[in-house]
A and B are shown apart, each in its own frame.
Chain A
Amino acid sequence: EDKVVQSPLSLVVHEGDTVTLNCSYEVTNFRSLLWYKQEKKAPTFLFMLTSSGIEKKSGRLSSILDKKELSSILNITATQTGDSAIYLCAVGGNYGQNFVFGPGTRLSVLP
């Protein structure tokens, strides 16, 4: 059975701190790994990582895929209160590209 694990499940930091969120997976025929940010509403897309694109960066956020270790990290530097959200990791396997989501990491950034 495909499985995605995230750690930590919850994290509290202060503005300006740097955080690293972890995602590990066991899926059949890995195709892609996606990171989403979920505030009060639906998840919004952050990054997609594949075998041909194992590192992505956008502003203060960056992510790396380690296919050997079957894991990914999401880094957020100089955190702001607006970064407070649940960060979801989803992994796509098999041809149909259905995605298995992890439980998410709840990040709280205090002023």
Chain B
Amino acid sequence: EAGVAQSPRYKIIEKRQSVAFWCNPISGHATLYWYQQILGQGPKLLIQFQNNGVVDDSQLPKDRFSAERLKGVDSTLKIQPAKLEDSAVYLCASRAGTRAIRGQYFGPGTRLTVL
């Protein structure tokens, strides 16, 4: 089966600019996650979708980050405006359902560098 797709793979921007990331989950996976992984740390959940509804966005910095999952399939994560501390790898993951036996499948990630 095709894996989780993300684009772009790398992005370099200057602070205060805007950036958007795209994720296409595994077909049929109802649950989609966006994580931020700062170098040397474990992934931190930003937002979790169940179909096109938000389940958990408690750690999403809503003043600058936004995410949507229209039609319950692919998703976009936006940062506007970016700060230096947003430099990280942004991982998208999907899961068949909240009771799936394998946990999440991760995409390759987008490495963001904010200068």
B is bound to A: yes
| Interface residues of A, Cβ cutoff 8 Å to B | 4, 6, 32, 34, 41-45, 48, 88, 90, 92, 95-104
Asked if B14 is at the interface of the complex by the 8 Å CB criterion, the answer is no
Which of A4, A32, A34, A42 makes the CB contact (< 8 A) with B108? A42
Q: Is the CB–CB distance between A98 and B106 below 8 Å?
A: no
Q: Is the CB–CB distance between B50 and A96 below 8 Å?
A: yes
- 30 A-B pairs with CB atoms under 8 Å apart are A4-B42, A6-B42, A41-B108, A41-B109, A42-B106, A42-B108, A42-B109, A45-B103, A45-B104, A88-B43, A90-B42, A90-B43, A90-B103, A92-B103, A96-B48, A96-B50, A96-B98, A97-B99, A98-B33, A98-B45, A98-B55, A98-B56, A99-B45, A99-B103, A99-B104, A101-B42, A101-B45, A103-B40, A103-B42, A104-B42
Q: Given contacts A41-B108, A42-B109, A95-B98, are A101 and B103 in contact (CB under 8 A)?
A: no
Which of B35, B45, B56, B102 makes the CB contact (< 8 A) with A48? B102
| Interface residues of B, Cβ cutoff 8 Å to A | 31, 33, 35, 40-45, 48, 50, 55-56, 91, 95, 98-99, 101-109
Which residues of chain A are near B44, meaning CB under 8 Å? 101
Smallest CB–CB gap between B74 and chain A, Å? 17
Q: Is the CB–CB distance between A48 and B43 below 8 Å?
A: no
6 tightest CB-CB pairs across the interface, nearest first? A101-B42, A42-B106, A97-B98, A34-B103, A96-B55, A98-B56
> Which of chain A's residues has its CB closest to B92's CB?
A42
Smallest CB–CB gap between A111 and chain B, Å? 25
C-alpha gap A100/B104 in the complex (Å): 12
Smallest CB–CB gap between A89 and chain B, Å? 8
Most buried by B among A88, A99, A102: A99
Which residues of chain B are near A43, meaning CB under 8 Å? 43, 91, 106
Q: Is the CB–CB distance between B91 and A42 below 8 Å?
A: yes
